[in-house]
Structure 1
Amino acid sequence: MNIFRILKNDSWIKPFLHKYRKSLILALILGFITFFCAGALMFNSGYLISRSASLPENILLVYVPIVLTRAFGISRPVFKYLERLTSHNWVLKMTSELRLKLYQVLEKDAVFFKNDYQTGDILGLLSEDIDHIQNLYLRTVFPTIIAWLLYIFIVIGLGYFSLWFALVMLLLFAVVIFVLPLWSVVINGARQEQQKQMRNQLYTELTDNVLGISDWIFSQRNLQYTEKHVQHEKKLRKVTQEIRNFNHTRNFIAQLIFCMIAVALLLWTSRYFPGNHGGQANWIAAFVLVIFPLIDAFAPLSDSAQETNIYKDSLLRFNQLQNKQQVKVETLQNQAKLDTPYTIEIKHLDFRYTDGDKLIIEDLNLKIAGGEKLAILGRSGSGKSTLANLIRGDRRPTRGTVELNQQETALLGDDISNYIGVIHQTPYLFNTSIRNNLSIGDESASEQRLWDVLERVGLKQLVAALPEQLDTLVDEAGLRFSGGERHRLALARILLKDVPIIILDEPTVSLDPVTEQELIETFIKELHGKTLIWITHHLQGLSLMDRVVFLEDGRLQMSGDPQKLAETSAHYRKLLAIDHGI
């Protein structure tokens, strides 16, 4: 009943039911005809065998059943093919438009999607939920409606011969069509929902752990990570095995009921169509054999019903996504153009990923003046990178505001890229030419300007020595370049974009000390006059910054000029000593 309530208020699937209603009705009719032909084939075959064995006095008595058997034998695969073609065409049209709608919703406000979902959730939504919606119709809606139509047809047909026997079949078939599916929903449906949640959890944890694999290795906890993943896989296998065991038991009960139906038909036809050789006795095999192809129509109903919990969860996720995105997209309208000087102000900032989680950042107040060079220090997990995402508007605060010239950065949408640029720890280079990789910063940049920025970042001689120079292809992720060279190419993009505020998110963490110092000096020189926010846990090069702030468990613990802090703060001097290995 839950899934029907969700479908009633659904804004994702219902529009396609109306749009493609003719194809939907045609698929259901063809499905009914397919099973009707299968049953009619066995009915005619049973009658033909019995009649032929009784030495018919006229060949015409078996000629008509022979023709009908041939006709139904040909019709069954033809209609089955047409039904599959129509139903799959309907479903594929619907899911293709559903995917397009999903991508359009995500694209409108992609940065805010991360506020409510982790990367693993996004993968679960894209990889599983679309398939679940597709299976909702192919494996549940179509088979269930077709089985109900056959159920009504069978009961009415038997009622023509015997009302009391039609009532007996009404009850026996009801067990297969209603009781066993309901039992499956109550018992196994919950297990399947648990299975899906565990898979989504594995998506999330595996994605997060792979992205942070270096932290596991550096902390020498890689075996702990492997053991944790194995335990989760073991729990998933246990639930999967419980589902299989229940299915085996339920299917065995269903087969017993079908056996009872076949025996009941045999006994009823023996009494209703008495006779020895020929005559009405020829109908006994016809009625009994007709039940066997209909098993294919009724047997899958229990499996289909128990999966409705999974479909319900997928429908909820889609509709919740739509509602959240509509609210957020409306807040991005009519933003004014910002003018210099650019000041960032953080007021009473709190942030947690989801309700119930601990605060990553708590009551943070910070003001960054235009042109200031600020270093944000802190241990891994102290909230540095989260703060960088909040400053750029990639995440929205749980409480408080992050403002750029009195405008919330989270409400600037795509315009934020005109004011704030980011150089990450591992800058990504695309599998295309150096020219195209640089032109991401400014598509209209002339060739001379490209050479100018390469010279500024110290890569002009390297690129000029390559066989095709700017048109040299870059390997996927820029693997042909060293770490320092990739960072210099990322800096060249930033220089082409010419944004006033630059965030350096631990860009030197994997470099050797000499390359690190050279790169820091290049950043400071080439980004002179711009606001520079350097996220780091390494103290090398901090003397070149105007101010240093230190985050500890999401709180601002220390702030000041690096030279003065070295003179007045024992804690800062201790950090310097640790960083220098003293």
Structure 2
Amino acid sequence: MKIFKIFRNDSWVKPFLGKYRKSLCWALVLGFITFFCAGALMFNSGYLISRSASLPENILLVYVPIVLTRAFGIGRPVFKYLERLTSHNWVLKLTSELRLKLYQVLEKDAIFFKKDYQTGNILGLLSEDINHIQNLYLRTVFPTVIAWLLYIFIVICLGYFSLWFALVMLLLFAILVILLPIWSTIVNGARQEQQKQMRNQLYTELTDNVLGISDWIFSQRSLEYAEKHIRLEQKFQKITKAIRNFNHKRNFLAQLVFCIIAIVLLIWTSQYFPGNHGGSANWIAAFVLAVFPLIDAFAPLSDAAQETNIYQDSLIRLNRLQDEQTKRTLNLERNEKKIVAPYTVKIKSLKFKYPDNAKLLINNLDLKIVDGEKIAILGKSGSGKSTLANLIRGDLTPTEGKVVLNQEETYKFGDKISNYIGVIHQAPYLFNTSIRNNLSIGNEGASEQELWDVLERVGLKKLVVELPDKLDTLVDEAGLRFSGGERHRLALARILLKDVPIIILDEPTVSLDPVTEQEVIETFIKELQGKTLIWITHHLQGLSLMDQVIFLEDGHLEMSGSPQKLARDNRHYRKLLAIDQGF
């Protein structure tokens, strides 16, 4: 089966098999003993009932079966409890380490997940895939191994009495152990795979739409979204119903096979242990009744087999995640070079589109940004401005073309790109900790004097001095105690502490009033003097301070030049300037 090939090359689950092999072996042994006790209990009970009904000459003839019945009756729940305790403890240890490993992978490669995964995909990894690995053992590996051990044990024991009858039971139990599981895998396995994919799709779409619920409501299309979600849910329920109906039919056949096994066993024992009362005839009920507890051991095998399609998909996804991380680590180690000033960004024949979108967001763009240049990138919403910023910083990989920093492609820098390119976003985030800690994100080794100096540079020293605990004053969650302009100044302070040569301003003043916006822009220009400045914006205030202005339209470069040259020679730019100034 495909899952064995996948499991052979697995780097997520297989390493833990050796680490916890003792617990795994104990869980399997205890599981076998549990069903052995259940069968032995019914075996002794059947013999005891028959023997007691035949008026034994001496009570001692039934004393041993009475003691064994009591022993196996107590042993069955005890061993079952120990088996559950051991197996679940083993699986919980395994999944806790798997979750830790997944969190470490996600945290280490967080910079790349924006381009490779949506939020719903991450939820699918965290919720679905780890849970499937857990169920791989609880619902597939443990029941299957235990059932095969019982299968072999039963055939060997019956072979002691009759070789031909052992072969008959070998074939009958093979229907339960081999034939029905294969049938379930072929028919229901594909349905369960489809069910899992639809569940992941529900995760992705529901997460995406919940995050954007306000836009659905404001566009008066909330009912359309609800209907779309209901249709997807109905498809999911239809597949679930088909799986359930098939399971009912298959389980009926399994019960029918057990009925045939019991009848065949009854016929054989009546032939092998002849007699009317007493003697060897007492073994007939013992053998027949011993079959019934085994239903619980063999019945789950079909469900266990059909779910292997789900498990193999989860193993593939997790191992692909590990392979991608290893590949990135090797690439970063291979490409990690110390680049030195002057720092030049070159964009060559750049094209970009997201994997699930046919539209090019950036289409054949060429641009050069020299060291110390201040460039503004304009364009209406959806024109590709923020996408271009992400490509420059290496958060996205070009579909075609290159974005290079001193001849090195930016996406290959990984986390090291933060040593060269800093970003101030529209809504800088302040953590619910002290001002000192919020500033130290830019430079953990900064001294207190350096913190005060940078606050003075961004115009916040007076404000912080007047706070009760000064640098140790706690910032409210998300920095709500500070105004928008103050949060942007604190973000600038972080960048100044980091002292990177290239700064991207991703529409940092979009939510500010005109007066505050002008003050923040002037502070940025003054304090970032000498650094390369890439300013993403959609209106023209402060552009006179830039060296170059480019305008993007649907991913294309529509116009470029100095603000003075554009204002003099470009009619479209003059029109935009007049609109922005309210004329």
> How high is the TM-score relative to the length of structure 2?
0.91
Q: Any gaps of 5 or more consecutive residues in structure 2?
A: none
How many angstroms does 1:345 deviate by?
1.1
Q: Secondary structure at the match of 1:432?
A: coil
Quick one: structure 1 residues 515 and 248, their matched pair in 2 at CA, closer, same or farther if it must change by over 3 Å? farther
Identity of aligned residues (%): 80
Q: Secondary structure at the match of 1:290?
A: helix
2:94 maps to 94
Q: Secondary structure at the match of 1:412?
A: helix
Of 57-66 and 197-206, more deviation after overlay is shown by 197-206
2:475 maps to 474
How many angstroms does 1:151 deviate by?
1.2
Q: Secondary structure at the match of 1:507?
A: coil
2:380 maps to 379
The CA deviation string for residues 140-195 of structure 1, in whole angstroms up to 9 with x for no partner, is: 11211111111122222223334444333333322222222222211221111112
How many angstroms does 1:309 deviate by?
0.7
Task: In structure 2, give the amino acid aligned to 1:123.
Answer: L
1:314 maps to 314
How many angstroms does 1:490 deviate by?
1.6
Query: Given the alignment of the two structures, is residue 80 of structure 1 paired with residue 77 of structure 2, yes or no?
Result: no
Cα RMSD of the aligned pairs, angstroms, is: 2.7
1:109–1:329 contact (8 Å) kept in structure 2:
no
Quick one: structure 1 residues 501 and 62, their matched pair in 2 at CA, closer, same or farther if it must change by over 3 Å? same
Query: Given the alignment of the two structures, is residue 234 of structure 1 paired with residue 234 of structure 2, yes or no?
Result: yes
How many angstroms does 1:481 deviate by?
3.3
The CA deviation string for residues 82-107 of structure 1, in whole angstroms up to 9 with x for no partner, is: 32333334334433443444445455
Question: Residues of 1 paired with 2:214 and 2:423: CA distance?
Answer: 21
The CA deviation string for residues 222-275 of structure 1, in whole angstroms up to 9 with x for no partner, is: 444444333333332332232223222322332233233333333443444343
1:421–1:502 contact (8 Å) kept in structure 2:
yes
Quick one: structure 1 residues 251 and 478, their matched pair in 2 at CA, closer, same or farther if it must change by over 3 Å? farther
2:350–2:401 contact (8 Å) kept in structure 1:
yes
Of 421-430 and 211-220, more deviation after overlay is shown by 211-220
1:142 maps to 142
2:54 maps to 54
Of 378-387 and 84-93, more deviation after overlay is shown by 84-93
The CA deviation string for residues 110-160 of structure 1, in whole angstroms up to 9 with x for no partner, is: 433444333332332233222222221221112111111111222222233
Q: Secondary structure at the match of 1:380?
A: coil
The CA deviation string for residues 480-515 of structure 1, in whole angstroms up to 9 with x for no partner, is: 434333322222211222222111122233344444
Alignment length (residue pairs): 582
Instruction: Report 1:331-350 matches (<5 A).
Output: 331-333=331-333, 335-350=336-351
1:170 maps to 170
Instruction: Report 1:520-559 matches (<5 A).
Output: 520-559=521-560
Quick one: structure 1 residues 490 and 395, their matched pair in 2 at CA, closer, same or farther if it must change by over 3 Å? same
2:502 maps to 501
Quick one: structure 1 residues 221 and 557, their matched pair in 2 at CA, closer, same or farther if it must change by over 3 Å? farther
The CA deviation string for residues 254-311 of structure 1, in whole angstroms up to 9 with x for no partner, is: 2233233333333443444343333333223322222222111111111111111111
2:188 maps to 188
How many angstroms does 1:37 deviate by?
1.1
Task: In structure 1, give the amino acid aligned to 2:149.
Answer: L
Q: Secondary structure at the match of 2:332?
A: coil
Quick one: structure 1 residues 44 and 579, their matched pair in 2 at CA, closer, same or farther if it must change by over 3 Å? farther
1:422–1:505 contact (8 Å) kept in structure 2:
yes
Question: Residues of 2 paired with 1:478 and 1:107: CA distance?
Answer: 24
1:361 maps to 362
Instruction: Report 1:360-509 matches (<5 A).
Output: 360-509=361-510
Question: Residues of 2 paired with 1:188 and 1:85: CA distance?
Answer: 31
Question: Residues of 2 paired with 1:374 and 1:499: CA distance?
Answer: 17
Question: Residues of 2 paired with 1:541 and 1:233: CA distance?
Answer: 50
Quick one: structure 1 residues 511 and 7, their matched pair in 2 at CA, closer, same or farther if it must change by over 3 Å? same
Instruction: Report 1:96-135 matches (<5 A).
Output: 96-135=96-135
The CA deviation string for residues 404-444 of structure 1, in whole angstroms up to 9 with x for no partner, is: 22222222233211211111222222222222111111222
Question: Residues of 2 paired with 1:232 and 1:509: CA distance?
Answer: 37
Of 247-256 and 271-280, more deviation after overlay is shown by 271-280
The CA deviation string for residues 519-558 of structure 1, in whole angstroms up to 9 with x for no partner, is: 3333233323322212223334333332222222222222
2:275 maps to 275
How many angstroms does 1:364 deviate by?
1.5
How many angstroms does 1:580 deviate by?
5.8
1:435–1:470 contact (8 Å) kept in structure 2:
yes
Quick one: structure 1 residues 108 and 136, their matched pair in 2 at CA, closer, same or farther if it must change by over 3 Å? same
How many angstroms does 1:395 deviate by?
2.2
Quick one: structure 1 residues 157 and 461, their matched pair in 2 at CA, closer, same or farther if it must change by over 3 Å? same
2:153 maps to 153
Q: Secondary structure at the match of 1:354?
A: coil
Q: Any gaps of 5 or more consecutive residues in structure 1?
A: none
1:116–1:353 contact (8 Å) kept in structure 2:
no
2:394–2:411 contact (8 Å) kept in structure 1:
yes
How many angstroms does 1:213 deviate by?
4.8
2:26 maps to 26
Question: Residues of 2 paired with 1:249 and 1:94: CA distance?
Answer: 35
Of 325-334 and 388-397, more deviation after overlay is shown by 325-334
1:292 maps to 292
Quick one: structure 1 residues 281 and 391, their matched pair in 2 at CA, closer, same or farther if it must change by over 3 Å? same
1:112–1:396 contact (8 Å) kept in structure 2:
no
How many angstroms does 1:357 deviate by?
4.0
The CA deviation string for residues 23-42 of structure 1, in whole angstroms up to 9 with x for no partner, is: 43333222211211111112
Quick one: structure 1 residues 281 and 142, their matched pair in 2 at CA, closer, same or farther if it must change by over 3 Å? same
Quick one: structure 1 residues 56 and 413, their matched pair in 2 at CA, closer, same or farther if it must change by over 3 Å? same
2:111–2:415 contact (8 Å) kept in structure 1:
no
Instruction: Report 1:239-254 matches (<5 A).
Output: 239-254=239-254
The CA deviation string for residues 37-74 of structure 1, in whole angstroms up to 9 with x for no partner, is: 11111211222222223332211111111111122122
Question: Residues of 2 paired with 1:302 and 1:161: CA distance?
Answer: 30
2:50–2:278 contact (8 Å) kept in structure 1:
yes
Quick one: structure 1 residues 243 and 540, their matched pair in 2 at CA, closer, same or farther if it must change by over 3 Å? farther
Task: In structure 2, give the amino acid aligned to 1:499.
Answer: V
1:344–1:367 contact (8 Å) kept in structure 2:
yes
Q: Secondary structure at the match of 1:331?
A: helix
